[in-house]
Structure 1
Amino acid sequence: MVLEILGESLLSALFGALFERLASPLVRNFFGDRDFDQTLFDKMKTVLLTFNAVLSDAEEKRITNMAVKEWLNELKDAAYHAEDLLDEIATIALQCELEAEAKVKGKQVMGLFFTHNPSKEDKDSSLKLDKDIESRLKNIVERLEFLEQQRDIMKFKGSVRGKPLMVLPTTFLVDEFEVFGRDKDKEKLKEFFLAGNAQKENRIPVIANVGIGGVGKTTLAQLLCNDSEVEKSFNFRAWAYVSEEFDVLKITRTIFESVASRNCNVKDLNVLQVKLKERLKGKRFLLVLDDIWNDNFIDWDLLLSPLKAGAFGSIIIVTTRNQSVASMMRAVVTYRLLHLSDEDCWSLFAKHAFRTSNPEEHPTLKRIGEKIVKKCKGLPLATKVLGGLLHPEVEAVEWNRILNSKIWELSTDKSSILRALKLSYYHLPPHLKQCFSYCSIFPKGYEFEKEKLVLMWMAEGFLQHQKGKDTMEDVGCSSICMWRILLQVRGWQTE
């Protein structure tokens, strides 16, 4: 499902790769060493930057606007031509460097016998090649400038690249009657931290709930926090929605307000952490940090400082899409939350689609609904959203429209699926966006073989490799581990 939603987002990844190529010393030196019109290189870079500023808005509007979609397709084609040319330039520049090194090494011997001068044919061939590259570069710049004029007509909104889509914050509250298929997951985690054997060394144990966007990590944390046995086991329960901006001051204030049950306007982190430490000292607490992306240990260690004052038996639950977050926090348990079964998905879908009606009273709608559930691939968020768009009074033709529609064709204000899943994509660096988007060439439901996929990335030049470090194959395998949050990986278990 994720590949369906994000397969068309290759353009943002392509632009990221283009800027990396433009900044390459090989490319810069190539233009500096030749008698080219230097303004062409600068113009291409400037125009690409102006496109990059509005790309987020354009990619959002193409979901419902055919004119924008056609414009983006033209831009993508022009960007591919630019990428091909820059690749060719980098290859020529590298070849020239190697030839220059070979000449220097052989010069001591060759200089004793003769002096080599390039032939007229070599000079003519080099001149012809330079003219060809300059001509192609000029055509690309002219095409990009034409697309730039069309861009101004469409009045896209400028934005900072990489800025994620807004997602509503989460809270403690949950309607347990709308949750299906998570009883076993809840009991496994509940049994673990109520047993009192989680604390090791002199630190607060962390339980990391890891899974892809929309699989129900937050819901599971809410179920645990609202369990009557859990509630009795702790002096304080606190909830902090973190998301991408890991603001230590903001998170600390949220935790303090939660345990103190009052607002706090303290803006000094030192004063605030001292207050929180005093409040938690000798108390057993349960803290949920929901939707963490930051895997910076320094930030985490700073946030953790006042929490260490808590009594033995205190626990921190973290929900995240990134395995690297769990590793950085040294989680005592990494619980990978899997997809729901079709049976549980159907129960969730029926709860929202049929409301108080009995699905058996609507056999045609029930049959269509079962197909819609299979389309959701075990994701409760997708199941809930699609179920919420329907009800028994709606005719079967509307149910079929939902069944046959791509999720991104639904009204954007109703579909939170796109926002939730695109968030994971936004957090990938440019070269990994290319790697991920490349996977969209495979059929739906295709099972990837990791090693073969890495070799294909290598052939396309997508992987970034630094000399003296891991092999290119190791880099590729590490890349797959970084975005397991976007793919369903077989064989995941609790660690």
Structure 2
Amino acid sequence: MAMFLSSILSEFTSRSISFLIDKCLTSISPPTVEETLSNLQRLLCRVHIIVDEADERHISNHAMMRQLSQLRKEMYRGYHTLDTFRCRGVHEEENRVSPSFTPSNFNPAKRIRFSSSDSSSSEQGHLLEVLGCLEAAIRDTSELVLFLSGYPRRCRQPYSMYLLLDKCMFGRQMEMEQILGFLLQEEAPIDGNLGVLPIVGRRRVGKSTLIEHACNNERVRTHFCRIMCFRRCGTKDERTVATLSDCDVIKHGSGAIGDERILVIIELVGDMDEDVWRKFYSDCKHHVAGGSKIIVASRSEKISRFGTTQPLELKLLTPEEHWYFFKVRTFGSTDLADHPKLASIAMDMARETNRDFFCASVVSALLKANFDAHFWSMALASVKKIKRINPLLYREEKGADFLQGFKPINVRIVNKTSVENLVILHDYETGFVRETAQNEGSQMTIRDLLFGSNNVRPRGRFEVVACRSHIPPNYSYMWECEVRRPQRMISRRKRTQQIQS
């Protein structure tokens, strides 16, 4: 009898425990948005530490470079998702607060709205997906973290990160390694042929900057005794880029041509005539030593036929990468919790720049100069207006218009009382600018152009400083502008003069 009661009590106890465990498991609710965002922020901090440590190391393993590239993409995606939810909370707080809003402990400056709608469920699913991908990426880098300590540290350059961001080298680590691998690879001479690497990409995508950074690499300067550059060459004139003696700029030189290896850089706008290329390539083979290399950069994919290796195509950054670049340029850090309102405006502004490096640099410099929400809202409205009156400004072209590049841009009315229009005719860059403080102060800036000034009343044609690099080589990017009267106003004045005469 005692054994029977003992077995009954044991069975009852085990079933009770199982029931309680099942009850507890079913009562646990899924994580809230705040909890998920908090976990996402914590994982991003861990990933950022790994990426920063990897950037300090000279990694030669291509598989590790690919894994780091994937880790960076997940980090950019995570920051983009985190900032998107933060900015959405700011937008919702500006609306009327209703009982359907719940205070968020993740950021007291905002409220996150909970809804049972399909869109909210989809966004919640996207957030969990990003979190899961980031967790998987961290797990996959466990071996990578161990191997990092075995690679030597790079030479410390205090301004290197600012230089990379300021010159649009952001997000080009894989492309940089591909160029360095091509330049430093020892090749057996085959019939005296020289290695040629074509680099293709749209305007302002960063081709020249990437090449400039590769030429400044210490290993490249040690490997080649001379670096010769041919910039913005014509495409049909046989007198252009015919021989090495037509070189525009010698970036680095420590020996006579023919004695040591040289690196030749050719920057084109479109295609190059076949006869011009054949003549130039023949001249190089007869006057340079074996192991010399040629890099040809252009917007046209046709130059790929000149290459002896696979062409390097530079594409626009993804929206997540572009947002990371834009916010670091604007705020100087990745944490935007102290500026929720400005972060919301900045995210809208980043979308308006259409992932364009140059536009992002110009706009971020404009915003960084004045941390005021009202000013940023005015700047956003101005950029939207420019895009509205210039619908082809960001249109992707693949024909002749694409190769021509810059088109005149109608910006705005000069002031409230004038009907004159302001037009940006074209842009250009000047290198190694050393201006005095007086000259810098007398030049019109992008802020004067967009918002006007009581002391600045432009007339006719004039120049505007669109963007200036404050780190050597101190490039200045200029716009040539013109104040134009509307065509109807000019015709009316002509008719009046004819009647009076």
**Shared topology, TM-score over 0.5?**
no
Higher relative contact order, chain-length normalized (CA < 8 Å, sep 6+): 1
Instruction: Give TM-score scaled by structure 2 length.
Output: 0.40
Structure (1/2) with the larger helix percentage:
1
Q: Which has more radius of gyration?
A: 2
Structure (1/2) with the larger strand percentage:
2
Instruction: Give TM-score scaled by structure 1 length.
Output: 0.41
